[in-house]
C-alpha cells in the first residue's frame, strides 16, 4: 500500500499547490478527468474564447446605430472551435506530462474514494494513505429530473458545459435550459454564432442572484436577441427523428420548444459524493460542499479542501486564492515557513458574467442589505450618460454602488460594456479600505474613458462633502 507525504485529489487549482516551500515531499496527484480541471478545459477559459467571436458578431449587428453597416457574417464553427482547443489541449497535455516526469510526484490517472481518514482506494483497487491530503475534486454539471431528459446524452444532442463547446457542428436550433451564468453565456455565444436559441428559465428573470436592475436589464437585452421563456418549467421531453420536443409549463399554460440540441445549464454540484467524503470522515454542508474553516481545514486533521468541492463560490479566482492559502498552511504545518497560517479575511468576492451585456458584481444587493437591516446609501450611473457611453450609443449599461452613510463602499453591481474590467477599481478600493469620495476625488480619471462611469457613480453617492 503506497504511503505518501501528501495526496492531492484533483488537478485544477490543486495542481498549483506544489510551491517551492513543499519541495522534497513525496506527493501524489489523483485525477480521473482531463488534466487541468474545469476552468482550463470546460469552463472559464474556453467559454470566454467563444464569447469573443460572438461579441464581434453582435457588435457588427449593432453597428448600424453608429452609421456603419456590414454584410451578414459568415461563421466557421470548426475554425472557431479548433482555434480554441488547439490552444487549450496542449496546455492540459503539457501539464500532465510535466507532473508525470517530475521527481517526487506520482500521478494516478484514476478515480479515488475515501475508505477512512486519509485513506483512499483507487478504481484500480490500489489503496493509498498519506500524512496530509488536499481535496480539490471540483464540481460537475447536474442533469434535469424530468421524464425523457434525465441527463447529458451528447450522441442525441443533449449537452452540458462539458460537451457543448466540442460539438461537431452547430445545430439549427438549441434549447438552453437554465438562467444562471453558464446558461446566459452559452446562450449569448450560440445566438451570436447564428443558432436559433430558445432559453427556458423557471424564474421571472435571468441572473436572479444579481442586483434587480442589473438582472432586469440583462433579461430585457436577451429578450431582444432570442426566444426567451420566463417563469417556464420543463415538464417532460421526447426525442423523435432527431428533434427534441420539450413540454413546458408557462404562465399562459402548456407550451413546447423544439430543437435539434439541448443544453442543460441548471446548476453544478460538488464532487464530495464521488470521492465518498463521508467514508473519509469529512463533514459536508446540506448542498454537498465540504465543511472547511478559515484556514481551509476540513473536519479531519491534516486534510484541507479548496475550490468548488468546498467553496460557495464556483469561481476560479477564488479557488486559486484558496490554493495559495492551503500551500502556505501546508508549509506552516510542515515547519517549512515561519509565521501563522493564513485565514480567509472576508474580502469581497467579485464575479462576472460574460454575456451581452457583460455583468460584474461584488457585495450584497440592495434587497440583501434591506433584509439584513443595514443602513446604506446608493447611486446608479447610466453608462449612456458619460461621454464614452455617448460614443457607444449605449442604452443598457448601469453601475450601481452601495455604500455606508460614512462612505465605506459595500457593493457594486454593473451591466454594460467591459463590466468585468470597469468594476475592478471598486474591488481594489474596498480591499484597501478607501472612502468612496477619496477614490473619486483623489486621482485623475482619464477623460473621456469608460472608467468615468465609476467616478460619477461614486460622486453621486449622497454622502455630503
Find all residues with CB under 8 Å of 443, minimum gap 6, and list them.
none
Assess contact for 34 and 41: CB atoms under 8 A.
yes
Give 233: exposed, middle or buried? Use CB within 10 Å, 0-12, 13-18, 19+. middle
Distances (CA, A) of 142 to 83, 149, 215, 270, 333: 28, 12, 24, 10, 36
**CB atoms < 10 A from the CB of 264, how many?**
26
Look-up: residue for cell 458584481?
361
Instruction: Please name every residue paired with 154 in a beta bridge, in sequence order, or none if there are none.
Output: none
Euclidean distance between the first and the last CA atom of the chain, given in angstroms as a whole number: 69
User: How far is it, in rounded angstroms, from Cα 383 to Cα 448?
Assistant: 12
Cα dihedral 155/157/160/163 (nearest 10): 50
198 Rama class: left (phi>0) / alpha (psi -120 to 50) / beta:
beta
Catalytic status, residue 447: yes
- Asked if residue 282 lies in contact with residue 310, where contact means CB atoms within 8 angstroms, the answer is no
Candidate list 3, 285, 370, 447, residue with the active-site label: 447
Residues marked active site are found at 447
Amino acid at each position: 500500500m503506497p504511503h505518501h507525504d501528501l495526496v492531492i485529489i484533483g488537478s485544477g487549482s490543486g495542481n498549483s499547490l506544489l510551491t517551492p516551500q513543499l519541495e522534497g515531499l513525496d506527493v501524489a496527484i489523483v485525477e480521473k478527468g482531463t488534466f487541468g480541471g474545469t476552468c482550463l478545459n470546460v469552463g472559464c477559459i474556453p467559454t470566454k474564447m467563444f464569447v469573443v467571436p460572438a461579441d464581434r458578431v453582435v457588435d457588427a449587428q449593432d453597428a448600424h446605430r453608429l452609421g456603419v453597416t456590414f454584410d451578414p457574417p459568415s461563421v466557421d464553427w470548426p475554425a472557431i472551435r479548433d482555434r480554441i482547443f488547439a490552444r487549450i489541449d496542449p496546455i492540459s497535455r503539457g501539464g500532465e506530462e510535466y507532473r508525470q516526469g517530475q521527481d517526487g510526484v506520482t500521478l494516478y490517472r484514476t478515480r479515488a474514494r475515501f475508505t477512512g481518514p486519509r485513506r483512499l482506494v483507487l478504481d484500480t483497487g490500489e489503496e493509498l494513505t498519506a500524512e496530509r491530503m488536499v481535496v480539490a475534486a471540483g464540481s460537475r454539471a447536474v442533469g434535469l429530473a424530468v421524464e425523457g431528459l434525465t441527463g447529458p446524452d451528447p450522441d442525441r444532442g443533449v449537452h452540458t458545459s462539458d460537451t457543448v463547446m466540442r460539438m461537431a457542428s452547430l445545430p439549427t436550433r438549441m434549447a438552453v435550459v437554465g438562467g444562471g451564468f453558464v446558461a446566459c453565456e452559452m446562450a449569448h455565444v450560440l445566438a451570436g454564432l447564428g443558432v436559433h436559441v430558445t432559453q427556458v428559465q423557471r424564474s421571472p428573470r435571468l441572473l436572479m442572484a444579481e442586483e434587480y436592475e442589473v438582472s432586469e436589464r440583462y433579461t430585457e437585452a436577451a429578450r431582444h436577441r432570442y426566444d426567451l421563456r420566463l417563469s417556464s418549467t420543463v415538464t417532460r421531453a421526447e426525442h423523435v427523428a432527431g428533434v427534441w420536443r420539450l413540454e413546458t409549463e408557462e404562465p399562459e399554460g402548456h407550451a413546447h420548444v423544439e430543437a435539434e440540441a439541448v443544453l442543460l445549464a441548471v446548476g453544478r454540484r460538488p464532487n464530495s459524493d464521488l470521492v465518498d467524503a463521508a467514508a473519509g470522515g469529512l463533514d459536508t454542508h446540506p448542498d454537498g460542499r465540504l465543511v472547511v474553516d478559515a484556514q481551509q481545514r476540513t473536519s479531519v486533521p491534516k486534510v484541507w479542501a479548496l475550490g468548488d468541492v468546498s467553496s460557495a463560490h464556483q469561481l476560479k479566482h477564488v479557488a486559486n486564492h484558496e490554493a495559495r492559502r492551503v500551500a502556505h498552511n501546508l508549509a506552516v504545518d510542515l515547519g517549512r515557513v515561519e509565521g501563522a497560517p493564513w485565514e480567509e479575511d472576508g474580502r469581497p468576492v467579485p464575479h462576472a458574467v460574460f454575456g451581452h451585456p457583460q455583468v460584474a458584481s461584488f457585495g450584497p444587493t440592495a434587497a440583501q442589505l434591506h433584509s439584513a437591516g443595514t443602513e446604506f446609501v446608493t447611486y446608479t450611473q447610466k453608462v449612456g450618460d458619460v461621454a464614452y457611453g455617448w460614443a457607444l450609443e449605449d442604452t443598457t449599461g448601469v453601475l450601481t454602488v452601495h455604500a455606508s452613510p460614512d462612505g465605506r463602499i459595500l457593493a457594486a453591481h454593473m451591466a454594460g460594456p467591459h463590466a468585468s474590467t470597469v468594476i475592478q477599481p471598486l474591488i481594489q478600493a474596498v480591499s484597501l479600505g478607501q472612502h468612496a469620495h477619496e477614490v473619486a476625488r483623489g486621482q485623475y480619471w482619464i477623460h473621456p474613458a469608460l472608467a468615468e462611469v465609476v467616478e460619477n457613480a461614486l460622486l453621486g453617492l449622497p454622502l455630503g462633502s
